[in-house]
Structure 1
Amino acid sequence: MKILILAPYPKGIAPSQRFRFEQYLNALNKNAIEYDYIPFIDLKTWNILHKPGMFLGKAFGMMKAFAKRFWLMFFLGQYDFIFIHREASHIGPPVFEFIISQILGKKIIYDFDDAIWLPNYSVHNKAFNKLKWYSKVKSILSWSYKASAGNEYLKNFALNYCPDVLVNPTTIDTLHHHNQIKDQETEKIIIGWTGTLTTIKYLEDLLPVISKLEKEHDFEFKIICNENPNFPLKSFVFKKWEKDTEIDDLLTFNVGLMPLKDDIWAQGKCGFKALQYMALGIPALVSPVGVNSKIVDQSVNGFICKQEEDWYNYLEKLILDSPLRNELGKMARKKIEQEFSVDSNTNNFLSLFK
């Protein structure tokens, strides 16, 4: 069997790609499934995509990407399946998906991990927002042979358009990547959050809690992000996200945060932040939104915070109690290994190609 993988970004860069399917590439090889992996934009375009300005560079990168995608359409006969993560082209209508399925008659396996039919974009790319064509998700699903959804909420949406939908959760490679455990006996307590500037809005409601806590306790509030949000807090520390230091940077956390607002977009989130924390033995504090309540078991491997008072009380408890942090972290790691690891989900992922 031979498959073609189409994704928006270059290999090894975008979290959604790394933790949705790139971790299974070795498993494809081991199961006699050959693959070609062709991203839409190249590395040069990726490096400027979320930077302010540089409109001409971004536009040229997009035009070049479209030209390469159109050329690729002449060489699809050799593939049994076309696996598409999110979209075959970063902007515009689903032209390539239409050609692949409706003209060439190839079987699409469509993978998505967010409510990507809803508008959500970087502040630096407002000019491209009208070109995103969010409604194309419904068309792609209707043309797909199978769909791979990150959680039950996304699956239920997909079933409106595609009859064969598999829940394929975002998973963590606990053997080769997230393979260390946090030492909770640290001199300094670090409360941490990791993500991109597009999702940091969910953290802003917690700033009053952090402000109140830092008046009573000594800790760092560490943000790992692609850009500095410059929060006005004395405990605030910023670390720019880097792939090479990702694990070491996360291991500085004693506690990991994943607040969300209960909106339609958040319902589609796949709990990636919580999964990362927990895989490293770091207790997670999360909002009871979407899949979070399935990942975190209350008082067993973390805490589910329903209101502002919960965030304050549970954070204070974890700041003061290192044995509790250790116990919750140990159980968190166990939960990920059993239910949200690459090892536990490999057969489920491979079933997409049957």
Structure 2
Amino acid sequence: MSEHLETRTLIGQRVCNEGPSAVWQELSRRPDRPRLVFEVDDDLWNIDGSSPVAHAFFTQPDVLARLEANIRVADAVTVTMEPLAEQVRRFNPNVHVVPNYLPAWLLQHERPRRDDGAVTIGWGGSATHHMDVQEIGAQLRQVMARNPHTELHLIGADYRKEFGARERVRHTGWTATPADYWRAIDFDVMLAPLRAHVFNASKSALRCLEAAMLGIPVIASDYGPYAAFVRHGETGFRVRRDHEWGRYLRDLVNDQAMREEMGAAARRQAADWTIEGNVDAWAEVITACRESTSR
């Protein structure tokens, strides 16, 4: 490590592996250390067992111990939702809620579109959503069976089995950068299931925001962050009862004008959620960090 540390503020996301944790702890003890900001955007203490890989990793005592120790020595912690802030304050009182924002260029980005009349239904996300995607498998299969002009495109975790769609399905694995992921989104309709669960209470509306930025209408669970973000009947639909997944999906895959109108409304809403327009939120964290370390 350099003798002269020039970094003034260091932001670490989910630092809990052994090597990075050792560095983080060493930095916290240095007299010339940078301000340390710990960032976490999931309730890692309540991952459901239906997501076996993530659950197995974050329930390891050593991993949790390092996670909590690294949060304790941070000058500030950032989270995206208040329920998660409540969890993290057990280890560090200096917690700031900074919502997720996305780059403004997405508002002008033209996503890839098919010209053969096919309608692409899409979902993208990590391997912590097993319980969520199970919510809509039966309804999705029924709609696709009765509407042969549809296809399903999954990005990220491979949930083809959970969705239960065997034909007209594409899967795109993890991309090298977030920008590559956004450019891979070619959905005409975005699915956003979210089961009522303590883990999901700390989720942000990021999936719905991504859809809005790209002008894509979303069908989302009427729960938690999605309920607060999606404007029912304007930027998409919020689902309260299981059969509504099929109803709203049928409406959107068969009505291009509705998709375009809702997508345009969603993009207008998303204009308030750009990184460039909300830099003050992060500036406030850095300022608070500076003040706490100067005392």
* Fold shared per TM-score above 0.5: yes
Structure 1 stretches of 5 or more lacking a match? Answer: 1-71
Shift in CA distance, 114/124, structure 1 to aligned 2, threshold 3 Å:
closer
Shift in CA distance, 170/306, structure 1 to aligned 2, threshold 3 Å:
same
Q: Which amino acid aligns with 2:39?
A: D
- The TM-score, its normalising length taken from structure 1, stands at 0.68
1:343 to 2:276 alignment = yes
Q: Deviations over 1:86-105 (max 9, x none)?
A: 11x52489544433325658
Are the counterparts in 2 of residues 117 and 137 from structure 1 also a CA contact under 8 Å?
Answer: no
Aligned twin of 2:76: 146
Are the counterparts in 1 of residues 13 and 39 from structure 2 also a CA contact under 8 Å?
Answer: yes
For the residues of structure 2 that align with 1:77 and 1:315, how far apart are their CA atoms? 54
Shift in CA distance, 119/305, structure 1 to aligned 2, threshold 3 Å:
closer
Aligned twin of 1:302: 236
Q: Deviations over 1:192-226 (max 9, x none)?
A: 11123342442122110012212332311221235
1:249 to 2:181 alignment = no
Aligned twin of 2:94: 164
Moved more, 237-246 or 310-319: 237-246
Shift in CA distance, 110/174, structure 1 to aligned 2, threshold 3 Å:
same
Structure of higher RCO (CA pairs closer than 8 Å, 6+ residues apart): 2
User: How does 1:197-276 map onto structure 2 within 5 Å?
Assistant: 197-218=127-148, 219-227=150-158, 229-230=160-161, 232-241=164-173, 242-243=175-176, 246-251=181-186, 253-276=187-210
Are the counterparts in 2 of residues 113 and 170 from structure 1 also a CA contact under 8 Å?
Answer: no
User: How does 1:5-84 map onto structure 2 within 5 Å?
Assistant: 72=1, 75=3, 77-84=5-12
SS in 1 for 2:231: coil
Aligned length: 278
TM-fit CA distance, 1:304: 1.4
TM-fit CA distance, 1:173: 0.9
SS in 2 for 1:161: coil
TM-fit CA distance, 1:259: 0.7
Shift in CA distance, 245/148, structure 1 to aligned 2, threshold 3 Å:
closer
1:101 to 2:35 alignment = no
Are the counterparts in 1 of residues 212 and 270 from structure 2 also a CA contact under 8 Å?
Answer: yes
Q: Which amino acid aligns with 1:237?
A: V
Moved more, 203-212 or 100-109: 100-109
Aligned twin of 1:188: 118
Q: Deviations over 1:260-304 (max 9, x none)?
A: 112122122223222211110001111233322222122221111
Structure 2 stretches of 5 or more lacking a match? Answer: 288-295
**Alignment partner for residue 247 of structure 2, among 307, 310, 313?**
313
Paired-residue identity, %: 18
For the residues of structure 2 that align with 1:117 and 1:100, how far apart are their CA atoms? 25
Shift in CA distance, 160/125, structure 1 to aligned 2, threshold 3 Å:
closer
Aligned twin of 1:4: none
Aligned twin of 2:268: 334
Aligned twin of 1:56: none
SS in 2 for 1:134: helix
SS in 1 for 2:37: strand
For the residues of structure 1 that align with 2:42 and 2:7, how far apart are their CA atoms? 27
For the residues of structure 1 that align with 2:120 and 2:252, how far apart are their CA atoms? 10
Are the counterparts in 2 of residues 178 and 280 from structure 1 also a CA contact under 8 Å?
Answer: yes
Are the counterparts in 1 of residues 44 and 58 from structure 2 also a CA contact under 8 Å?
Answer: no
